[in-house]
């Protein structure tokens, strides 16, 4: 039998409770059931992420809503148990972006990204330091941001999953790094991982003035995880030729209609400063040379101790609902992962 | 004596009258007055442009306000009469971005851009088809826009100085071109110069719906001359990987404070569509290989009749104030130029 975590009832308001989930058992799929192009995989580690809350409400979000009676899905790493495709082979380590919280299942091989087994890299690291948040940081900062040593970068949500990797990569590339976070503890952490300056946006007063104070000559790159009024303030503090990497808009996460959306007023500074705003979204870049390059570069930096990443691990697929709840009550510290 | 056009009184509201200007005579400068690095030049043709209105009010704009008692300045082409610089020589044709409306004057040679004397190209063409609006179109569309044959481009102010060159270049590059303009006559003109579709934004109703109708699958490139609500509507109609070339914000030209500025609400579509907004400003690119490339490519296209450009010429520097007034009462048709 295969064990799976199923959404029993939609979570309409507030956060989920354990009673919203059930742990089911279904017949284990066998290799005889494989059609051409399919693979049978066994998840090793499950990623547990805040964005999953939005998918439990029964409404479609940009990655699609969950359905009751079906397994929860999210990023995971797995071993191939059997394959009817030339793309992956038995024993391969793979990443599945929309993987099921189920101990064994059949999937189209084209939906899998093959991962290397590397010395000093645990398979779970592909959900952590080598996972989607790090890939987003690498892709945005290094591939699209065109960083140059000596430039000044500003990073919001600098203690977050994406931001902390941007801070560390920017230091490695010789940039002057200014991190912005939402608590004094996070500000302290951002400094610990290498930021030259950091400030708390909740206590800094006027954003434009705080940015001007931290970067009197303006910023060459802004890694934007928040959008909204902070982005408007950064637009007043750009150097000529600046790049803004548009990664997230967490400042608008509670906005439910376009009318409530914050209206950006300073976009014309992109013209006078010949600046560029680059929207990034790595979902289409997993099976690409860029992803291979990311895995290679970040694996080396991680092994050498030059990039750090904190993981919080729970053991057993039946712990996965609890891991989701822990995200919201402050129990966890670091990237949440469940060992199947 | 040198003849010059001077701003006599500031234009505080409404448009200028002839009485706001005076035609003065000052001693002609001589080659003996040249210091090292300077050149004595004689303007041949003056560019006359709408943006000059904003400079007559006595307030500084992004290119600086005019001062009473001093000559009007704007783009011009000139001959070098004498030089104390190795950068330009007597007889050279040059472009001066902040040139004086004066028949002879001394200038730093480093402020001049040397232009080639070419068969089939009149010096005045460097203010027209080879001038700043065309350079802006070339730089934005071709250099920063990375066009590919078969893509769909949307252009606002498509009958304007920049827009009409974008439309023609886009057709030459094999794109499907949708032009937007503010009158039915302009819409007709945009079709005449090659747009596949064109519509009048003043009568089209809801912008987003009109764009969706013209480009059901979305646009790959948007050449934005207007900003504001039209840009917000285009953001809802982007293809994956789209580029927005941010060139102008004429929709906000009457806005005098940040509070009145239209607030953009749909910028997050840049993230979901992995789109890029590229601010362009050619002022720093005149003495560059890009400008040489622009002159070479557009000169060839113009001689071959593949790019057309309409010029309205007045004769005599003392006609320059009248040429400015003609811009606003509909007398002129085509790019306004004064022969000195």
Query: In CATH, what number is assigned to the domain containing residue B153?
Result: 3.40.50.720
Q: Would B27 be classed as within a structural domain? A: yes
Range of the domain at B331: 2-128+309-339
pLDDT value at residue B54: 80
Q: Binning pLDDT at 50, 70 and 90, where does residue B330 land?
A: low
- Residues of A whose CB is below 8 A from B272: 62, 279, 281
Q: In this complex, which of A247, A270, A281 lies closest to B246 when CB atoms are compared?
A: A270
Q: Are A124 and A137 members of one domain?
A: no
Residue keyed to tokens 């560029």: A276
* B327 φ/ψ angles, rounded to the nearest 5 degrees: -60, -30
Q: Are B146 and B267 members of one domain?
A: yes
Measure the CA–CA gap between B149 and A331, rounded to whole angstroms: 54
Q: Which residues pair with A39 in a beta bridge?
A: A83, A107
Q: How many independent structural domains does chain A possess?
A: 2
Measure the CA–CA gap between B271 and A136, rounded to whole angstroms: 12
Q: Are B107 and B236 members of one domain?
A: no
* Cβ within 8 Å, pair B271-A62: no
Q: Is A266 on the interface with B (CB under 8 A)?
A: yes
Question: Helix, strand or coil for residue B223?
Answer: strand
Residue keyed to tokens 């719906």: B209
Pairing of strands B73-83, B21-26: unpaired
Q: Are A122 and A140 members of one domain?
A: no
Q: How far is CA B78 from CA A28, A75, B102, in A?
A: 83, 65, 11
* Cβ within 8 Å, pair B277-A265: no
Residue of B252, B274, B270 lying closest to B261 (CA atoms): B252
Last residue of a domain, one of B244, B268, B283: B283
Q: Would A299 be classed as within a structural domain? A: no
Burial of A298 by CB count in 10 Å (0-12 exposed, 13-18 middle, 19+ buried)?
buried
Residue of A267, A279, A245, A276 lying closest to B245 (CA atoms): A276
Q: Could you read off the pLDDT tens digit of each residue along chain A, which spans 340 residues? A: 999 999 999 988 777 899 999 999 999 999 999 999 999 999 999 999 878 888 888 665 556 789 999 999 999 999 999 999 999 999 999 999 999 999 999 999 999 999 999 998 999 999 999 999 999 999 999 999 999 999 999 999 999 889 999 999 999 999 999 999 999 999 999 999 999 999 999 999 999 999 999 999 999 999 999 999 999 999 999 999 999 999 988 887 666 666 788 999 999 899 999 999 999 999 889 889 999 999 999 999 999 999 999 888 999 999 999 998 887 765 666 788 999 9
Q: Would B300 be classed as within a structural domain? A: no
Q: B57-73: per-residue pLDDT in tens?
A: 876 555 678 999 999 99
Q: B212-232: per-residue pLDDT in tens?
A: 999 999 999 999 999 999 999
Q: Are A45 and A88 members of one domain?
A: yes
Q: Is the distance from CB of B310 to CB of B192 less than 8 angstroms?
A: no
Q: Is the distance from CB of A93 to CB of A114 less than 8 angstroms?
A: yes
Q: Would A297 be classed as within a structural domain? A: no
CA angle B3, B6, B7 (to 5 degrees): 170
Q: Are B93 and B174 members of one domain?
A: no
Q: Are A142 and A238 members of one domain?
A: yes
Q: Tell whether ipTM is more than 0.95.
A: no
Q: Are A10 and A105 members of one domain?
A: yes
Q: Is B268 on the interface with A (CB under 8 A)?
A: yes
* Cβ within 8 Å, pair A274-B279: yes
The CATH number for B90's domain is 3.90.180.10
* Cβ within 8 Å, pair A271-B248: yes
Q: In this complex, which of B261, B266, B270 lies closest to A277 when CB atoms are compared?
A: B270
Query: Which chain B residue shows the shortest CA-CA distance from A257?
Result: B265
Last residue of a domain, one of A283, A300, A319: A283
- Residues of A whose CB is below 8 A from B226: none
Q: Is residue B259 predicted with pLDDT exceeding 80?
A: no
Q: Which helix (H) or strand (E) holds B165?
A: helix B161-172
Q: Are A142 and A112 members of one domain?
A: no
Buried b (16+ CB within 10 A) or exposed e, B282-296: beebbeeebbeebbe
Query: Which chain A residue shows the shortest CA-CA distance from B255?
Result: A265
Q: Are A117 and A35 members of one domain?
A: yes
Q: Is A276 on the interface with B (CB under 8 A)?
A: yes
pLDDT value at residue B250: 79
Token digits for B4? Answer: 């010059």
């Amino acid at each position: 039998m295969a064990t799976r975590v199923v959404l029993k009832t939609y979570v309409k308001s507030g956060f989920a409770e354990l009673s919203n989930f059930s742990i089911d058992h279904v017949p284990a799929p066998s290799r005889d059931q494989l059609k051409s192009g399919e693979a049978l995989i066994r998840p090793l580690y499950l990623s547990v992420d805040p964005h999953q809350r939005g998918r439990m409400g029964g409404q479609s979000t940009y990655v699609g809503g969950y359905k009751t009676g079906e397994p929860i899905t999210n990023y995971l790493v797995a071993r191939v148990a059997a394959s009817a495709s030339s793309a992956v082979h038995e024993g391969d380590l793979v990443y599945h972006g929309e993987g099921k919280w189920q101990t064994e299942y059949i999937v189209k091989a084209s939906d899998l990204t093959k991962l290397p087994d590397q010395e000093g890299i645990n398979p779970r690291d592909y959900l952590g330091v080598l996972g989607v948040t790090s890939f987003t940081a690498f892709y945005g900062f290094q591939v699209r941001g065109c960083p140059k040593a000596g430039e000044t970068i500003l990073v919001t949500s600098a203690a977050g999953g994406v931001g902390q990797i941007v801070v560390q990569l920017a230091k490695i590339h010789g940039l002057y790094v200014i991190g912005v976070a939402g608590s004094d503890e996070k500000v302290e952490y951002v400094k610990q991982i290498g930021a030259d300056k950091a400030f708390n946006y909740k206590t800094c007063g006027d954003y434009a003035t705080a940015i001007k104070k931290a970067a009197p000559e303006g910023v060459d790159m802004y890694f934007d995880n928040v959008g909204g009024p902070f982005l408007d303030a950064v637009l007043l503090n750009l150097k000529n030729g600046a790049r803004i990497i548009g990664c997230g808009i967490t400042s608008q996460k509670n906005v439910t209609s376009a009318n409530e959306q914050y209206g950006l007023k300073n976009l014309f500074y992109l013209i006078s400063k010949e600046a560029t705003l680059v929207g990034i979204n790595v979902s289409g870049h997993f099976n690409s040379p860029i992803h291979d390059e990311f895995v290679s570069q970040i694996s080396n930096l991680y092994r050498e101790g030059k990039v750090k990443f904190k993981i919080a691990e729970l053991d057993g697929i039946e712990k996965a609902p609890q891991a989701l709840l822990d995200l919201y009550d402050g129990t966890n510290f670091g990237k949440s992962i469940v060992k199947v």
